[in-house]
Amino acid sequence: GDEIRYIDWNVYARHGSLFVKEFSAEENLHVTILLDTSRSMEFGGKFQAAKELAAAMGYIGLSNYDTVNLYAFGSEMRTVKKFLRGKGRIFELLRALDGLTTEGTTDMRAAFKAALPKLRGRSLVLLLTDFYDLAGYAAAVRELLAQRFGVHLVHLVAREEVAPTARGRMSLLDLETGRARDVALLPRTVEAYRRRFDLFCAEVEDFSRSHEMAYARVLADDPLDRRVVDVLRSGGILEHR
């Protein structure tokens, strides 16, 4: 009962058997990028790295004719661009990203309190942040899951956070609160910090796995192509195509 125009004549020529081509409609995604613009993202090039990733992921979405939205957040959510579609809108997205700067503190729970606009179909949230949130990130991310988004966590870390090279007496400044503390960075102090930082990263990753979210930890100073591949390999994009 299949129409003759759907016969794959190339296969018939090679194998002498008739095969019918089958087609399936590919459903477009609605991609929402949430970009952390709090002051802690300034450290170690994390903010620039996050903006570059947002541009790359936005381009991938626009090239696939997905709908792309961009929001910036610290302690509140700010709409930057909504309902972009088509490869030609990439320059609009790039200009918007270029105009963003860091400010204030992080409070994801307050920022994510209001529901995000959600179109019919599959919706993916790409959360780009360093997860430095004194109020806690878990409840905020659960708010996104409750809105029935597919949530994918991209954890930006600076190389100096992973393996600090500073030693001796110095004053450390909290970029978000402005508070400073005089410390002596002895080898045992640095080692204790590294263990705590590793535990912090593991806690974020375990949280994502326990809620069946994709997770990618990316170094801010890695080349952009490597950062993009890390996100794609995490399952954050490819699993949904």
pLDDT in tens, 9-26: 555 555 555 555 554 445
Would you call 28 exposed, middle or buried from its count of C-beta atoms within 10 A (0-12, 13-18, 19+)?
middle
Q: Give the three-class secondary structure for 206.
A: helix
Q: Give the three-class secondary structure for 162.
A: helix
pLDDT in tens, 73-118: 999 999 999 999 999 999 999 999 999 999 999 999 999 998 888 7
Give the DSSP H/E element, type plus range, for residue 109.
helix 108-111
Q: Is the Cβ–Cβ distance between 67 and 84 less than 8 Å?
A: yes
Q: Is the Cβ–Cβ distance between 155 and 208 less than 8 Å?
A: no
Q: Inform me whether the pLDDT recorded for 5 exceeds 60.
A: no
Give the DSSP H/E element, type plus range, for residue 184.
strand 180-185
The model's pTM is 0.84
Strand 168-173 relative to strand 150-157: parallel, antiparallel, unpaired?
A: unpaired
The pLDDT score that the predictor gives to residue 79 is 96
- The residues, any chain, with a CB within 8 Å of residue 105's CB and separated by 6 or more, are 38, 39, 74, 75, 134, 176, 177
Task: Please report which confidence band the pLDDT of residue 6 belongs to, taking 50, 70 and 90 as the band edges.
Answer: very low
168 vs 128, residue with greater confidence: 128
CA 68/CA 115 separation, integer angstroms: 17
Q: Inform me whether the pLDDT recorded for 29 exceeds 60.
A: yes
Average pLDDT, the chain: 87
* Percent of the chain residues past pLDDT 90, beyond the cut: 66
Q: Is the Cβ–Cβ distance between 50 and 41 less than 8 Å?
A: yes
Strand partners, 218: 156
pLDDT in tens, 128-140: 999 999 889 999 9
Output the six-digit token pair for 223: 């080349």
